[in-house]
Amino acid sequence: MINRSEIINIMKEDKTNISRDNVDLYAIKKILEKTLEKLNSVECITDTRFIPYGRMELLIDEFENNIKDNKFIDAYYNISDYLSDSRISLNNNPEIVDKNKEYYNEDKICKEEQSIIIEMINKYLSAINNALEKKNMNTNKKEILKNICDNLNESVDNFEMSRLEEINADIFTLKYTQRGLGGIIIGDDGSSLVCGSMYPISHYIEEFKNEKNKVANDKIITEDEYHNLFETDDNDAFVRLIIPANEPTNDYPTELNLIGKLPQEFTTDEIIRMKKYSQKMYGKIVNDNNDELNQKIQSFAKQHGYQKAVYLNDWNGYKCYEPVYDETQPSYTGLPIIILVDDQNNIRMSTSDEAFQQIRDTENN
């Protein structure tokens, strides 16, 4: 069994960065992981004297609500209180109360209590990982917005943000009306779209959604990109996996957001869909070591100052690739230009007219 005092002491360690005025999620995460490691290191035994009545039940309810509302300090104190608070309802049988007190006085944690605390910590860590992911995501969006604004000769301060939950994106609209620019949509995955003013914003939202689906359907990916897409955290929860609508087949009309969801929380349908999507995306992997043509295309892109080339589609007898300066940021190259590969595997840069025509034909299809 585990000594209760050992777990309480771990929870009290390094608490200098944990207060209502200074919520350090990394510090909390470090303590929780250390606590979880200790709890998982020992096989505890059943003890019928442990009864999670009264105050103990209320603490779990409070904890669940605090995690849901991202009240991380309150949730931390809920776990601390659960470990140290042995009170149960006074309306219970005195014999049960006495046995419960006897159990706590022995300073041991039984199998039943161990299971409850481990479940609480896992939920806590999942919530923290989600919060940290969103924080990093927002930082990346600010950088993307700044780069776009610099290229448009606009100030970031001229935009106000609104959430587009249905497409997992934020939209930044100008505080004043300007001909030609309607706004900027930036997805949680870093994708972006500069909106014009010719159509209503709803038109560009639909365009953004369709483009994401098109990329998911058409894009050839590297093995590293595949592993990045299906990356999991320490709790085996997906870090960034959002399965687009109509993926992996048209039988799934809605988007499925699996970010932060623990494997044991998956429904059977979600497991089936995730596995099918994984198989489909794995089939799109380009093996850079064995695909001689792809190596030549990537080399061609780098010779022209780009970081990589990303497959777009087949058009007018060519395979079309987008040259990318920096895969983590939007690319701005003036007039549009693409890399064309003919059926003899000859590689060349398009003219701007060809690039415009490829864009028009692709949109019409």
List the beta strands (DSSP E) in 71-168: 108-109, 159-164
| Distance, CA of 23 to CA of 35 (rounded, Å) | 19
Which pLDDT score, from 0 to 100, does residue 357 have? Answer: 87
User: Which burial class, exposed, middle or buried, applies to 132 when counting CB atoms under 10 A from its CB (0-12, 13-18, 19+)?
Assistant: middle
Which pLDDT score, from 0 to 100, does residue 91 have? Answer: 57
When pLDDT is averaged across residues 20-28 and rounded to a whole number, the result is 76
**Residue 169's closest CA among 204, 218, 220, 214?**
204
Q: What is the amino acid identity at position 362?
A: T
Q: What distances in angstroms separate CA 58 from CA 64, 124, 156, one per listed residue?
A: 10, 17, 46
Mean of all residue pLDDT scores within the chain: 81
Q: What distances in angstroms separate CA 133 from CA 139, 161, 230, 233, 238, one per listed residue?
A: 10, 19, 15, 11, 11
- pLDDT tens digits, 258-290: 888 887 888 888 888 888 888 778 766 654 444
- pLDDT tens digits, 242-260: 898 878 887 888 888 888 8
pTM of the model: 0.45
By mean pLDDT, which of 62-66, 152-156, 267-271 is the weakest?
152-156
Identify which of 102-106, 149-153, 287-291 has the greatest average pLDDT.
102-106
Cis peptide leading into 94, omega within 30 of 0? no
Strand 339-341 vs strand 285-286: parallel, antiparallel, or unpaired?
unpaired
| Distance, CA of 350 to CA of 352 (rounded, Å) | 6
pLDDT at residue 204 greater than cutoff 70 = yes
Q: State the greatest distance between any 2 C-alpha atoms of the chain, in Å, as a whole number.
A: 88
